[in-house]
Chain A
């Protein structure tokens, strides 16, 4: 079974631009969660989607948004990029039920100049 895939793997943007990252979960998984990892703040939860609905959201500004499609693939968007948005963005997939192990993709490394 294929693992979680994320595209692109690396991205360089400039301040003020917007970016869209993509995540394809493991086949059969209906939940996709997004996380941001920075040296200063560590790994932080962004949001989680299940069956095309956002179920939970972390403490991030509205510039960070996401969506999920009917095939469970998910995208996250960051608008008006700031230097502090430079980070490794990880997505995780799980089947989405109560007792649910999450599996992570390789991440997208975003650099904002």
Chain B
């Protein structure tokens, strides 16, 4: 089946630092999304980004679908950015059957 690789698996930053999280897919996926999982387990939508670049405040994301990867940029990190970040994509176009990476655990220290 399709493989979703996220790197790095763990990232420790000092508050104010910038970071880049990467997501590689072994095959084409549809409807690529980035999520932040809060301490209670809920997945919070960050970006729906099948292709191109989007920005939302200090966060931005870029997907290069032809090369099967996506990047999440976090600038001027804050302690509240801590948590696990997941990328995921649908295997098929019409069916919502997401495949997730293992996540990047981000810790931002004050």
A88 to B42, CA, bound (A): 10
CB distance from B103 to the nearest CB of A (A): 7
Q: Total interface residues on B, using CB and 8 Å?
A: 26
**Chain A residues with Cβ under 8 A from B41's Cβ?**
37, 88, 90, 106-107, 109
Q: Interface-forming stretch among A11-19, A65-73, A76-84, A91-99?
A: A91-99
Max chain A Cβ within 10 angstroms of own Cβ: one of B42, B43, B96, B98: B96
Judge whether B103 and A48 touch: CB under 8 Å: no
Judge whether A43 and B100 touch: CB under 8 Å: yes
CB distance from B35 to the nearest CB of A (A): 8
CB distance from A51 to the nearest CB of B (A): 12
Question: Which B60-110 residues have a C-beta within 8 angstroms of A?
Answer: 86, 88, 90, 92-103
A112 to B93, CA, bound (A): 35
Judge whether B42 and A105 touch: CB under 8 Å: yes
CB distance from B61 to the nearest CB of A (A): 13
Given the known inter-chain contacts A90-B43, A99-B31, A106-B40, please indicate yes or no for A33 contacting B94, CB distance below 8 A: no
Judge whether B96 and A33 touch: CB under 8 Å: yes
A58 to B41, CA, bound (A): 21
**Chain B residues with Cβ under 8 A from A45's Cβ?**
97-99
A64 beta carbon closer than 8 Å to chain B = no
A62 beta carbon closer than 8 Å to chain B = no
Judge whether A43 and B92 touch: CB under 8 Å: no
**Chain A residues with Cβ under 8 A from B93's Cβ?**
98
Interface residues of A (CB under 8 A from B): 31, 33, 35, 37, 42-45, 48, 50, 55-56, 58, 88, 90, 92, 94, 96-107, 109
Between A and B, 11 residue pairs with Cβ closer than 8 Å are A33-B97, A43-B98, A56-B95, A94-B96, A96-B96, A99-B31, A100-B90, A102-B33, A104-B43, A106-B42, A107-B41
